[in-house]
Amino acid sequence: MDPLRFVFGVHFHQPVGNFDHVFEQHVRDVYRPLLERLAEREFFPIALHISGPLLEWLEAHETALLDRIGGLAGDGRLELLLSGLYEPVLASLPREDRVEQIRWMREAVERRFGAKAHGGGLWLTERVWEPELAADLAQAGVRYAFVDDRHFLVTGFAADRLHAPFWTESDGKRVALFPIDERLRYLIPFQPPADIAAYLRLLRERGAPLAVFVDDGEKFGGWPGTKEWVYERGWLAQFLDAMGALVASGEIRLTTPATALSDVPSGGLAYLPTASYREMEGWALPPDAALRLARLERDRRVGTGGALAELLRALSRSEPNAQEDAGAVGVVPALGRSGGGAPGDRPRAVQRRVLARRVRRAVLAASAARCLAPARAGRGRAAAGRAARRRARRPGR
Structural domains present in the chain: 4-263 (3.20.110.20), 285-380 (no CATH)
Radius of gyration for the chain, computed over Cα atoms and rounded to the nearest angstrom: 24
Above pLDDT 70, what percent of the chain?
76
CB 32 within 8 A of CB 67: no
pLDDT grade for 381, boundaries at 50, 70 and 90: low
Catalytic residue numbers, as ranges: 126, 216
* Cβ neighbours around 133 below 10 Å, total: 24
**Residue among 143, 135, 126, 219 at smallest CA distance from 178:** 143
The CA distances from residue 226 to 22, 182, 229, 300, 385, in Å, are: 16, 19, 5, 30, 52
Give me the count of residues in the chain: 397
Instruction: Write out the E strands in the chain.
Output: 4-12, 46-50, 78-82, 118-123, 144-148, 166-170, 173-180, 210-216, 252-254
Nearest to 160 by CA among 7, 344, 335, 333: 344
In DSSP notation, 33-49 reads HHHHHHHHTT---EEEE
Has residue 243 got a pLDDT over 50? yes
Tell me the pLDDT of the chain averaged across its residues. 84
- Backbone region of residue 57 per phi and psi (left: phi > 0; alpha: psi in -120 to 50; beta: other values): alpha
Q: Does residue 145 register a pLDDT over 60?
A: yes
- DSSP state letter for 92: G
Indicate if the alpha-carbon torsion angle 353, 358, 360, 361 is positive or negative. positive
Residue 303, pLDDT above cutoff 90? no
Q: What is the pLDDT of residues 7-43, one digit of tens each?
A: 999 999 999 999 999 999 999 999 999 999 999 999 9
Supply the pTM of this predicted model.
0.76
Q: How far is CA 105 from the centre of its chain?
A: 22
Element (H, E) at 60: helix 52-61
- Helices and strands per DSSP (H, E), number in the chain: 19, 9
Cα–Cα distance between 238 and 197 in angstroms, integer? 11
- 69 contacts 37 by C-beta, under 8 angstroms: no
Asked if 349 contacts 359 with a C-beta cutoff of 8 angstroms, the reply is: no
The whole-number pLDDT of residue 312 equals 52
SS3 track for 181-247: CHHHHHHCCCCCHHHHHHHHHHHHHCCCCEEEEEEEHHHCCCCCCHHHHHHHCCHHHHHHHHHHHHH
Confidence of residue 115 (pLDDT cuts 50, 70, 90): confident
Distance of CA 198 to the CA centre of its chain: 21
Confidence bin at 297 (pLDDT 50/70/90): confident
CB 270, CB 166: distance < 8 Å:
yes
Measured CA to CA in angstroms, residue 200 lies from 5, 209, 241 at distances of 10, 11, 14
What's the mean pLDDT in 100-123?
96
- Evaluate whether 85 touches 104 at the Cβ level (below 8 Å): yes
Arithmetic mean of pLDDT, 117-142:
97
What's the rounded mean pLDDT across residues 215-221?
A: 98
Q: Provide mean pLDDT across the span 313-331.
A: 42
